[in-house]
Chain A
Amino acid sequence: MTILRTDGIMMRFGGVVAVSNLQIKIEEHEIVALIGPNGAGKTTAFNMITGIYTPTEGNVLYTDEHGREVKITGKKPSDIAKLGIARTFQNIRLFKELSVYENVMIAKHLHLKADFFSAALHLPHYKAEQVKAEVEVEKLLKSVNLWELREEKAFSLPYGQQRHLEIVRALATNPRLLLLDEPAAGMNPKETEELTAFIRKIREQYQLTIFMIEHHMELVMDISDRIYVLDFGETIASGTPQAIQDNERVISAYLGVEEDA
């Protein structure tokens, strides 16, 4: 089943066309990578999907948990998150001054049913919801070894752990589709390998579909089911890792000639 489909979306900033006529289709439970040179428009595509930018043209269509296809173009980012799309950011955007624990608990807010009044009065139905959320958050934090550090402020974590925390925070929204923008940026090869394993694990554990931007080719080739390649805002290729690796256009625009170490 297709979970996400973009129907010719285009984004223009002033004179610059950052993305044009982008056609993407993601099947449920796939891991799809989006690669391409810097400035190709990858992050912009993510921003259009998550509602941070509204496409100048075209539509983004998402199939919700009931199997209905809904148009999410023009919806607020928060509503899109509620539909089950979560993301991380290219430049980490944690709630810096808040604790690790709070960072993740915040992500649980979107499913809260109690209104502010019953929350402030700590009425039982609010409390029940919170206890459930606390249990889930504990589990998530333990899975990335951040439970011990839960009282630390987010900014004081080392970079790698911040990346992990951001992913866990996204997971806490109970997404069906997870968008990762350069999760391995700034990681050395060893950490990148660990991350690969982690992404695989969460996909299985939470039955996720993953759509990911990445420049680390080992990671991309290793993990993706399919790859889209963007250049100058347009799709220049798509297919399996093997096909992409051998694609002439991709090599000349992005990968470069493989030289051995």
Chain B
Amino acid sequence: MEFFEAFVNMSGGSFAQHMVNGISLGSLYAMIAIGYTMVYGILLMINFAHGDIVMMACYFTFFGISVFHIPWYLTFILVIITTALLGVVIERAAYRPLRDAPKNSVLISAIGASFLLENLANYLFSGRPLRFPNIEVLSQNLSLGSVQIQAISLFIPVVTIVCLMILLHIVNNTKIGMSMRAVSKDYEIARVMGINIDNVISITFAIGSALAAIGAIMWGIRYPGITPMLGVMPGLKCFIAAVIGGVGNIKGAVLGGFILGLGEIIIVAFFPQLSGYRDAFAFIVLIVILFYKPTGLLGEKTTEKV
């Protein structure tokens, strides 16, 4: 009833605006969710620190542009590289020693890594927010009729889709992709096949973290406040997006990202009085979807072979 009222009362302009907002948020979620899924797909572990890698990438960008005054396009490239390295370092320090450990240990180590990054950022950069560098070209406003759109919002979906395509190609059609999938199932035997599993896992982390960096840059331009806790909520939501889509499935991550992004906007748009429950929405969707599809929308349906 309320929904109907809200719908009728909504002008075409508002509706279009909501859709634009939703797509932009959704593709941001998708972008970060892909990184989760990448790592999960190979190591079968939630990289709890992924959200915090996003946070670190934001600080890197800040230092690049606002402190060292490197041109923004160069900074972006540097940030992507540095963040990829950070991902590799985290993998080496926190996950590699646990290769043969039970899954729970790895999960705990991941939580520990996430905790460490947050506390470290807090200690080094203080809890006070910094402003993400303003890049006029990307953050300027454009008007399309009554719809207002930020330049970056036009790029976000495009970048996300392009990254998706590249990634799918790598995983499905290249030798490294094949070895990634092999490593994910049985790394002992993968070694026997002559695969250097440490390299494969490092590459996976590098790619995942590079994606986090791209996501972070777009996130930062769109929501320009940097704090040590910045990664927590997006991290959690994007992880949920990945799970909704089917963890390990790259297309699923994108689908999940869009469902969450658009869903959140729609909740607030049509049920304004529920706006306080917006964050709960992600979790409710998650639980409902898992109830019907325990491995997510596009996750492979597995009957465990007995």
A–B in direct contact per CB < 8 Å = yes
* Assembly CA distance A260 to B52 (angstroms): 68
B301 — nearest CB in chain A belongs to which residue?
A14
CB pair A89 B306 closer than 8 Å: yes
Least distance between A24 CB and chain B CB atoms (Å): 19
* Assembly CA distance A13 to B306 (angstroms): 13
B303 within 8 A of A: yes
A53 — nearest CB in chain B belongs to which residue?
B303
Interface of chain B, helix or strand or loop or mixed?
loop
* Assembly CA distance A78 to B303 (angstroms): 18
* Assembly CA distance A90 to B303 (angstroms): 16
* Assembly CA distance A43 to B306 (angstroms): 8
* Assembly CA distance A43 to B304 (angstroms): 13
In chain B, positions 259-306 with a C-beta closer than 8 Å to chain A are: 303, 306
A52 within 8 A of B: yes
In chain A, positions 5-32 with a C-beta closer than 8 Å to chain B are: 13
* Assembly CA distance A43 to B303 (angstroms): 14
In chain B, positions 162-211 with a C-beta closer than 8 Å to chain A are: none
Kindly list chain B residues whose C-beta atoms are within 8 Å of the C-beta of A52.
306
A14 — nearest CB in chain B belongs to which residue?
B301
A130 within 8 A of B: no
A47 within 8 A of B: yes
Least distance between A259 CB and chain B CB atoms (Å): 34
* Assembly CA distance A89 to B304 (angstroms): 13
In chain A, positions 36-56 with a C-beta closer than 8 Å to chain B are: 43, 47, 52-53
Least distance between B301 CB and chain A CB atoms (Å): 9
Kindly list chain B residues whose C-beta atoms are within 8 Å of the C-beta of A43.
306
Least distance between A155 CB and chain B CB atoms (Å): 13
Kindly list chain B residues whose C-beta atoms are within 8 Å of the C-beta of A89.
306
For A83-107 the 0/1 string (1 means CB < 8 A from B) is 0000001100000000000000000
* Assembly CA distance A118 to B306 (angstroms): 35
A52 — nearest CB in chain B belongs to which residue?
B306
Kindly list chain B residues whose C-beta atoms are within 8 Å of the C-beta of A90.
306
Kindly list chain A residues whose C-beta atoms are within 8 Å of the C-beta of B303.
13, 53
For A137-154 the 0/1 string (1 means CB < 8 A from B) is 000000000000000000
Least distance between A80 CB and chain B CB atoms (Å): 14
Kindly list chain A residues whose C-beta atoms are within 8 Å of the C-beta of B306.
43, 47, 52, 89-90
Kindly list chain B residues whose C-beta atoms are within 8 Å of the C-beta of A53.
303
Least distance between B55 CB and chain A CB atoms (Å): 38
B304 — nearest CB in chain A belongs to which residue?
A52
Kindly list chain B residues whose C-beta atoms are within 8 Å of the C-beta of A47.
306
Least distance between A58 CB and chain B CB atoms (Å): 17
Kindly list chain B residues whose C-beta atoms are within 8 Å of the C-beta of A13.
303
Least distance between B300 CB and chain A CB atoms (Å): 10
Least distance between B98 CB and chain A CB atoms (Å): 18
For B46-58 the 0/1 string (1 means CB < 8 A from A) is 0000000000000
In chain B, positions 238-272 with a C-beta closer than 8 Å to chain A are: none
* Assembly CA distance A47 to B303 (angstroms): 11
* Assembly CA distance A90 to B306 (angstroms): 8
**Top 5 A-B pairs, shortest CB-CB distance:** A52-B306, A47-B306, A89-B306, A53-B303, A13-B303
Q: List 7 A-B contacts (CB under 8 A).
A: A13-B303, A43-B306, A47-B306, A52-B306, A53-B303, A89-B306, A90-B306
Query: What residues make up the interface of B, taking CB atoms closer than 8 Å to A?
Result: 303, 306
